Amino acid sequence: MISNSVEETIRIGAKLGRTLKKGDCIALIGTLGSGKTILTKGIAKGLSVKDVRYVNSPSFVIIKEYKGKIPLYHFDLYRIDKSTVLDSESYEEYFYGDGVVVVEWADKIRQLLPREYIEVKLSVTGENRRRIEIKK
């Protein structure tokens, strides 16, 4: 898919979010500024998170939780160097819990992801244009 604006990326994320169920894991892969957090806002909207304005990058705390029809657990691994950092975060209770997990920079911990996950690759193709590839 091609998105030509932030609003379109949010719509794509919302459409994806409406299809998700408990236990789903979304692995977001893309460069800085490719739209991972914006897509996550859309996913939150699709999961009926009350105020998606507050969905932002949890870069300094690694994970943020949001309440919707299904809980949303949003990981941002930009600042981690090794997957061992997640050991202290009890990541498995999130990955195999009762919510939906979205992991930004998921390629850093591919070996820790659940066996089945949805991979979303985002790439910048213009100032406001993004290519979004979803593999289930």
Domains, in order of start, for the chain: 2-135 (3.40.50.300)
pTM for this entry = 0.91
**Tokens 């893309």 map to which residue?**
30
Q: How does pLDDT run across 9-42, given as a tens digit for each residue?
A: 999 999 999 999 999 999 999 999 999 999 999 9
Position 87 confidence tier, pLDDT thresholds 50, 70, 90: low
Amino acid 90: pLDDT? 76
